[in-house]
Amino acid sequence: MNKAKWKCPSCKQAKKNNNISPITPNVANETNLDLAQPYSNLNTKSIIDHFDERFTYLNSSIESFKSFITNEFKKVTETVNEWTKKIKLVESSIDMVMDQVNNFDKEVTKIHNIELELNELKNSMKDLKDSHYKNEQWVRRSNIQISGVPQKKGENLIQLIKVLADKCNFPLNPLTDIDFITRVATKNDSNDIRPKPIILKMQARYKKDDFLSSLRKLKTIRACDIGFSGMQNQIYVNDHLSTRNKSLFNEAKRKSKEKGYLFCWVRNCTIMVRRTESSPVLHITSEDCLKKIV
């Protein structure tokens, strides 16, 4: 700073006085200089102190602000780091979930393939069962089941069949027409007091069909008609049904009676029902066919 600017106006005024000469005493000048000097020094020191104080405060404020900013930045950095960790965890979790979803998709695909295989197996099993049921009935195609014939020891079943043939005027030659004849046990036979049914197997199916047709024309046959005197129990003749078809026939009879159908019978090993004489005939070949009886 220029020292000329430090002096007060009165000092500057005294210096401009032209009346001073070499012989003039300079008491006034010295007095003025002595009076101005302390004021000038005091003013300069105050200004310097004032600026020092302001600079000190400013430095303190700057340091405080720097410290605040540093702390805040540190907090922000920590927060960002925390969120970065959380985001990484979330990303990791998402990756795990996606892996699981992919695995689930693979498992679902496997399950779908297994379902397809199961459906194929079910269809194959159904075909096998249907084939088995048909074969069971097929091996009985030449058989006649005769129920209600009284049972006794030492009975001659061939002679009994011959009597039935004579009764319906059917030309039967036991030697050439009969394959075998026997009685068979029924389910829960130990608790059944009824006589065991007779199974007659003919050599030819057409012979069996003709004989059965002739027997049915008799309408009603009783035990007393074939040599069992005094016994009025009715004798029934029918196709020899497989176990499954017997169950199906019984269910068809039950449902036909329940729904008011007048006819339920078996012909050529096929179960048939009819509501009235003029109604169409329904063929019952499986459990699903029972739904037709409505």
Q: Is the pLDDT of residue 182 over 50?
A: yes
Please count the other Cβ atoms lying within 10 Å of the Cβ belonging to residue 261: 19
pLDDT top residue among 118 and 39: 118
Give the whole-angstrom CA distance, residue 185 versus residue 192. Answer: 10
Block residue for tokens 């006589």: 195
- Model pLDDT for residues 52-85, shown as the tens digit of each residue: 888 888 888 888 888 888 888 888 888 899 998 9
Q: What top-level class would CATH report for the domain 144-240?
A: alpha beta
Contact yes or no for 215/237 (Cβ under 8 A) = yes
Mean pLDDT of the chain: 85
Contact yes or no for 164/217 (Cβ under 8 A) = no
Residue 101: the pLDDT is: 92
- Model pLDDT for residues 140-155, shown as the tens digit of each residue: 999 999 999 999 888 9
